[in-house]
Amino acid sequence: MKYILSTLIAAFLFANQFAQAQFLPHGMTEAEKTMDYQPPQAVGFTTPPSSPVRTPAEWEEIDGLCVRWEGTWSRSVLRNIVKHAKEECTVYIVTENQSAVVSHLNQYGIDQNNIVFVDEPSNSIWFRDYGQWNVYTNDVDSLLWVDWIYNRPRPYDDVIPVALADLLNVPLYQTLEAPNDLVNTGGNFMLDGFGTAFASELILEENDATNDFGTSNHSEGSIDHIMNQFMGIDRYIKMPTLPYDGIHHIDMHMKLLDEETLLIGQYPSGTADGPQIESNLNYVLNNFNSVFGTQYKIIRIPMPPEGGQYPNQNGDYRTYTNSVFVNKTILVPVYEEQWDTTALRIYREALPGYKVVGIDCNEIITASGAIHCITKAVSSDNPLLISHQPLHDQLYSTDDYEVNALIQHAEGVSNATLFWTTDTAAGYASVSMSLTNPNEHTWTGFIPYQQAGEEVFYYIHGEATDGKQQVRPMPAPSGYWKFKVLSSPTEIVEQKLTVGIYPNPSVGLFNVNFNRIENATYAVFDAKGKWIMNGNSDTKSFFINLNDVPSGLYLLKLEWEGGAKTVRLQIL
């Protein structure tokens, strides 16, 4: 790989300072804050692609996953990422000490199949922030990479995308020169695969007149234009930064699980970043809909304490949203069993069929990052895109259930099939789908109507003219979408009485789930009727934290419009 001379000089100047460092944290060190660092000169294209582009979502197919490995710090986390990711794709390990990495992997019985070593220097493990971004021309055509200016003065890291683009022969587009010079960081970027992206307002702060990178003073409109031209983003949703998240990366508290589902980290009421997270979420829900035109679905997941302490009490910024999709597997950071069991259950219920793997991240969360922060995908160079809005529960009628899906491939789609069943153990029946809207790449099939009380499971299979095949959900047939057939509108009302609480017994954290309603008040009492706490929720799922309450039996009284229920809680 050819480095630009100025980049080599800058790297030399910084190398001595970092030579003795065991690791660099996710945020900038005090020394880095005083550095006068200029971004490297461009070696790729500095003007936008000539064709319209689309940035794929994380749950789409990938060919590879990238990590950086140096020394001994974080190697237990990296080892487990490599172990599970290489079962799904090629793992690219950036390191200058391949023999040491091989020796460590061999020690744990991990062979080198599906591993490619990339011999390049680097400054830190935070691959998400400085790594390449995958984009496709014309939705599913040629794979290109986009490389932003990294928002850290770490010159070796900043040129890793150049090395990988050279290795894999992927055209590289760089936002390094005016008027397209853009500073950005991967942990502060989440998207749905169809032109909508989320970020904190860090993106505005690092590109205004006060920025420390010597780049242009960009207005919000200018930033939006660059992201549209280079990455196909036509709706860039930005939210205020959080007071206790020092790096201001949204992957520390939220994640898109599909085109319309947001996984949101939740603190106990009034704790740490909880109020700002809720304010940001309300802003999104009140102003934006999903790509399907419907309100986003919200799934809550706890933000667990460290030693009983939250970030506002000097606890580590533990998070479960900092996970990564690797095709049919999702790798989730874990910390402590009493909290982990709830978090992993939430992932498994939200993503049926996926292999959900917990990886201990206690070592690296002290540096304000977890699994998502240290990985970056290499998207498929031959994507077969399938997108579908799952059917909701259906009222009984003799009409078949219409299923529409966007199915798209660069060479065209030869056929599509809808698979369905009311009993996954008995296997699936198949129904051919037809191309009903060529301009929108919409394929349509019909599931035969079922009797009231049945639950229907289904998935979609597509085949391109070149033989490429894909299913959605990706783990199908073990993964699926599902809906119930209801006897009458009355049944919907009756289902409002369904309340689920998990785990129960618990060490103190209870996840409360309503089947149908979204607003409730609650109060907790001890066995003698003494009030303990109360609160309210405007979502179907919320957490009650009784971690500081003594062991014993308690009563949880729930009230909502048209109903009430009292259940017993047991604290171990």
Residue 26 amino acid letter: H
Same domain, 533 and 411: no
Query: Are residues 370 and 331 in contact, defined by beta-carbon separation less than 8 angstroms?
Result: no
Last residue of a domain, one of 444, 468, 487: 487
Q: Calculate the alpha carbon distances from 69 to 62, 163, 165, 228, 265 in Å.
A: 21, 15, 19, 33, 29
Question: 3-class SS at 533?
Answer: strand
CA 356/CA 279 separation, integer angstroms: 30
Write down which residue in 348, 379, 410 finishes a domain.
379
User: Tell me, what CATH number does 520's domain have?
Assistant: 2.60.40.3080
Contacts of 171 (CB under 8 A, 6+ apart): 44, 45, 142, 144, 145, 165
Burial class of residue 362, CB neighbours in 10 A (0-12, 13-18, 19+): middle
**Distance separating alpha carbons of residues 63 and 378, to the nearest angstrom:** 6
Per-residue pLDDT at 22? 44
Here the CATH number for the domain that contains residue 424 is 2.60.40.650
Work out how many domains the chain is built from and give that number: 3
Tokens at residue 40, please? 């490297």
pLDDT in tens, the chain (572 residues): 333 333 443 444 444 444 333 478 888 888 888 887 777 888 999 999 999 999 999 999 999 999 999 889 999 999 999 999 999 999 999 999 999 999 999 999 999 999 999 999 999 999 999 999 999 999 999 999 999 999 999 999 999 999 999 999 999 999 999 999 999 999 999 999 999 999 999 999 999 998 888 889 999 999 999 999 999 999 999 999 999 999 999 999 999 999 999 999 999 888 999 999 999 999 999 999 999 999 899 999 999 999 999 999 999 999 999 999 999 999 999 999 989 999 999 999 999 999 999 999 999 999 999 999 999 999 999 999 999 999 999 999 999 999 999 999 999 999 999 999 999 999 999 999 999 999 999 999 999 999 999 999 999 999 999 999 999 999 999 999 999 999 876 555 445 456 778 778 887 788 887 766 667 888 888 877 788 888 887 777 788 888 788 888 888 888 877 678 888 888 87
pLDDT digits (tens, 9 = 90+) for 113-163: 999 999 999 999 999 999 999 999 999 999 999 999 999 999 999 999 999
User: CATH code at 263?
Assistant: 3.75.10.10
Whether residues 333 and 410 share a domain: the answer is: no
Q: Are residues 433 and 284 in the same domain?
A: no
Closest CA to 190 of 351, 57, 330, 388: 57
d(CA 551, CA 249): 37
Q: Which residue has the tokens 């496709």?
A: 136
Residue from 389, 328, 332, 334 nearest 353 by CA: 328
User: What's the burial of 553, exposed, middle or buried (CB within 10 Å: 0-12/13-18/19+)?
Assistant: exposed
Q: What is the pLDDT of residues 336-380, one digit of tens each?
A: 998 999 999 999 999 999 999 999 999 999 999 999 999 999 999
User: What range does the domain containing 521 cover?
Assistant: 493-571
